[in-house]
Amino acid sequence: MTNSQSYNKKTNDYNLTKNQKIVFNLLQNSGEPLKAYTILESLKREGLKSPLQVYRALDKLVELGIIHKIESQNSFIACSNSNCASNTAFTICRRCGDVKEIKNNHLFEQVSDLGKKNRLKVHRFNLEFYVDCNGCKVN
Ligand SMILES: [Zn+2]
Ligand SMILES: [Zn+2]
């Protein structure tokens, strides 16, 4: 998969610290959002013992745009696109909680335009759409 190749390249480019790599790998392998305390619990045996170490790593990874924070859930998920910077959009299933990242340049442009029209500079946005996912749709 070209995606995972670009991730590997990306994480190497970013020169992540050991802790950042451990946290990133956990999130990437999990494929679903994890809360900080879950991450801390999972990584105790890897030597990450203090919440501060985990929070620092998370902050940096979010800043780099290779993981994202799901604001409403206070959880973190590995980016499934190649370059989101700090703008994100997710669908969250109301029933099963399934989270998917969506990348839609048109949508992203519209948000910027909306900002411009209101004479606001949009620094970043994190969109969350509450949906019934395909698996949960009731016909
Ligand atoms: Zn992303
Ligand atoms: Zn669902």
Tens digit of pLDDT at every position of the chain (139 positions): 444 555 555 566 788 999 999 999 999 999 899 999 999 999 998 888 899 999 999 999 999 889 999 999 999 999 988 767 778 999 999 999 999 999 888 888 898 899 999 999 888 888 999 999 999 987 6
Q: Per the structure block, which two tokens stand in for 133?
A: 């996912």
User: Is the domain covering 88-131 a CATH 3.60.15.10 domain?
Assistant: no
| Shortest-distance ligand to the CA of residue 135 | 2
| The CATH number of the domain covering residues in 3-78 | 1.10.10.10
Give 122 Cα–ligand 2 centroid separation in angstroms: 31
Give 136 Cα–ligand 1 centroid separation in angstroms: 24
Single pTM value for the model: 0.82
Q: How far apart are CA 76 and CA 34, in angstroms?
A: 5
Give 121 Cα–ligand 2 centroid separation in angstroms: 34
Nearest-CA neighbor of 57 among 28, 29, 88, 16? 16
The residues of the chain that CATH labels 3.30.1490.190 are 88-131
Give 103 Cα–ligand 1 centroid separation in angstroms: 7
The residues of the chain that CATH labels 1.10.10.10 are 3-78
Q: Per the structure block, which two tokens stand in for 88?
A: 């994100």
